[in-house]
A and B are shown apart, each in its own frame.
Chain A
Amino acid sequence: MYSFIKKYTETMQDQNIYPIFSLLVFVAFFIAVLWYVKVLDNKQVDKIKNLPLEQ
């Protein structure tokens, strides 16, 4: 398996795939984070937000 990957990557020419792949991964990840933040429960957020002020 490793030798197959090695052989393939050693000879690959089109390296544009790396930036494109990277950008897609980031966009997907960022959308997921935005969605996650959007659906957070505000009451819970207020509670967590005040944790440093509790003693």
Chain B
Amino acid sequence: MQVESFQYDNKTVRNFAIATIIWGVVGMTVGLWIALQLVFPTVLNLQPYFNFGRIRPLHTNAVIFAFVGNAMFMGVYYSLQRLLKARMFSDVLSKIHFWGWQLIIVAAAITLPLGISTAKEYAELEWPIDIAITLIWVVFGFNMFATIIKRRERHLYVAVWFYIATFVTVAVLHLVNSFELPVTLFKSYSWYAGVQDALVQWWYGHNAVAFFLTTPFLGLMYYFLPKAANRPVFSYKLSIIHFWALIFLYIWAGPHHLLYTALPNWAQSLGIVFSFMLIFPSWGGMINGLLTLRGAWDKVREDVILKFMVVAVTAYGMATFEGPMLSLKSINAVAHFSDWIIAHVHIGGLGWNGMLTFGILYWLIPRIYRTELYSKKLANIHFWLATLGILFYAIPMYWAGWQQVSMWKQFTESGQLKYQFLETVTYMAPFYAMRALGGALYLTGAIVGMVNFFKTISKGNLLANEDAQAPALEKTYTKHAGEHWHRWIERKPTPFLLLSLVVILIGGLVELVPTFLVKSNIPTISSVKPYTPLELQGRDIYTREGCYTCHSQMIRPFRSETERYGEYSKAGEFVYDHPFQWGSKRTGPDLAREGAGNLKKSNTWHYNHLEEPNAISTGSVMPSYSFLIDANLDTASTPLKINAMRTLGVPYAADYAHKANQDLMTQAQGISDNLKKDGIKVAPNKEIIALIAYLQRLGTDITKK
């Protein structure tokens, strides 16, 4: 067969590498900032744009989609070309992909601090950006797939399988979870409500971890670890089992984020069983990675790249052991909503994604710049800062999580809750400070790395187009003697893509479809009524400010929770919640019944608390929301919002949109008058009035006769 000459595109790889480095430092800096906001809440919350609730999503989106996303594309563009012995299909598409993705990141960085958010975790970006993500993802997928079609290597190495599964599944997840009804250019409502929204969101949320943070990085591990160690993967057969078992099982695991909630029990059970089974393929992969280094451990002592990779694979093993354990109901009952989960995700984020990314960068940048690394010493310093950073981050958070939960759950001998929620918050202060130190160490390491990378880049020359040669692919495939029929799957990318799609769809469909169709899963409650227009506007302020980042609205059926927060939450209470606001973390207390029973407070209390939380609850880490006192409520949007809700099935009367603002003003005037009695003068058209109305509504429906 004739040998063909061609060139690999290193420029796109370089662009993604630089974006990875810069966005990594930016995302981690925002992370350190929000960590410090919990230590110095009054100094570092700069309202309204830089309050915790608005920039915590900025941190998560930046590290997931900007840092890890760019790292993924860097690794895929480098390895895919070489594994397929072909240049990327189209330089133009590569360019559109790169710049499109960066624009999306910039759009996120602008809109999230502005409070433009869908309030669905890790999917906060509003609908125009969601459309842009879809288009750019298709560009990436098309470019990748067209490259696979014109490849010169018949067999698809397992890394390419992981890339294909990533593309297909992220596309499905993004499309299904982002199904939303636009109200204005920057505002939409989730198409789903309550329990269904929660299930879709955590099916998405968990599988964003699986198919954005894990599968592409496993592909990178299977390529770059053998490269760095200069030896093939320990067991290729194991990698095949790893791949199929992982993609099949992962997609079912979402409901473990919703244990003990109002999600139907059978769906919770499915989530638990499949989450637990995940440990087997995950550890199969980890062992495969570590055993690739068999006989090369002496190299690990010397080679900083391998050090980064070993810590990464070990962190993967730790996180994927912990994940299935956390899915068990008894452990989940303790860990959920606590800082334990923050430790868990950072073992994955800082350890697995971060360390693998840096390992790859140290391997890749000197190669494409045809030079030596600027400083091995600095790289070693980076490694130790990062490793210590992870420990300083995770250990205090694990400890904090345990303490926090045991304080939430303790009763006195007379059967009273032993601690006020606020006591558990103030107890966390030293742990939050230690965590910030861990984050600062990791960030310092990343900055040292950045200097090292840029110094390396400045002394080298980019090999933008790298010469390569390979025989062309034979048009017709000749089977070798004794070949089994099933080998076709490794040679035919399109059926492979379809098979992956089917495999990931099974779990999703079995869990999602019945939750949507079986009526008995969400028993209706006749006293649950739609929000009043003022409450609806207040709810939109609640979602805009990212209150869900610290407050849950889901009381689980434990005595420690029903004593503290009231009657446990029922599925039927959330049928008008577009989007659901159950939350995933209790830095502050649950708010599901904030307006009912013992938890009910006066309008004046809410006003003062929102204005200056620390003045009412000494030691509170909540930011001040005093800007809501001056901000005018956008009542022009009320009819649009009512109509949108009607489209989504919320039973407002047909002509209610036009009358809604009258009702809104009447209710607002009532709250304003009530505040006036306590000497607080605030006009009824201010945002704080709407938010108070919403908070006062929470949990009251089921108390009505």
Contacts and interface: CB of A to CB of B under 8 A. Distances in A.
A53 B226 contact: yes
A48 B157 contact: yes
A9 B521 CA distance: 11
Contact of A48 (B82, B155, B252, B480): B155
Contacts of A47: 155
A48 B495 CA distance: 19
Interface stretch (B196-204, B239-247, B456-464, B527-535): B239-247
B222 interface: yes
B273 to A, nearest CB: 7
Contacts, number: 103
Contact of B266 (A5, A11, A15, A40): A15
The interface residues of chain A, by DSSP majority, are classed as helix
B241 A34 contact: yes
Interface in B228-273: 230-233, 236-237, 240-241, 244-245, 248-249, 252, 264, 266, 269-270, 273
B484 interface: yes
A44 B227 CA distance: 20
Given A13-B520, A18-B270, A40 B237 contact: yes
B241 A37 contact: yes
A1 interface: no
Contact of B248 (A11, A13, A26): A26
A13 to B, nearest CB: 7
A36 interface: yes
Contact of B82 (A29, A30, A49, A55): A55
Nearest to A12: B518
Nearest to B516: A9
B273 A10 contact: no
A52 B266 contact: no
B677 interface: no
A44 to B, nearest CB: 8
B655 interface: no
Contacts of B270: 18-19, 22
A29 B79 contact: no
Contacts of A50: 232
B514 A22 contact: no
The interface residues of chain B, by DSSP majority, are classed as helix
A18 B233 contact: no
A21 B270 CA distance: 11
A26 B249 contact: yes
Contact of A15 (B231, B244, B264, B480): B264
B26 interface: no
B514 A15 contact: yes
B79 A33 contact: no
Given A36-B240, A48-B155, A22 B274 contact: yes
Interface in A1-48: 5-6, 9-13, 15-16, 18-19, 21-23, 25-26, 29-30, 33-34, 36-37, 39-41, 44-48
Given A18-B514, A19-B273, A55-B82, A25 B227 contact: no
B482 interface: yes
Given A22-B252, A45-B237, A51-B83, A33 B519 contact: no
B41 interface: no
Given A10-B519, A22-B274, A40-B237, A52 B79 contact: yes
B506 interface: yes
Contacts of B487: 41, 44
A15 to B, nearest CB: 5
A4 to B, nearest CB: 12
B52 interface: no
B110 interface: no
B185 interface: no
A55 B227 CA distance: 10
A46 B233 CA distance: 10
A21 B506 CA distance: 11
A15 B277 CA distance: 21
Contacts of B277: 26
17 contacts: A9-B517, A11-B519, A15-B266, A18-B511, A22-B510, A23-B273, A26-B277, A30-B245, A33-B241, A37-B240, A48-B155, A48-B158, A51-B153, A52-B82, A52-B232, A53-B231, A55-B82
Given A22-B273, A22-B510, A26-B277, 8 more contacts: A15-B266, A29-B503, A36-B486, A41-B482, A48-B236, A51-B153, A52-B82, A55-B82
Interface of B: 79, 82-83, 153, 155, 157-159, 222-223, 226-227, 230-233, 236-237, 240-241, 244-245, 248-249, 252, 264, 266, 269-270, 273-274, 277, 468, 480, 482-484, 486-487, 490, 503, 506-507, 510-511, 513-514, 517-520
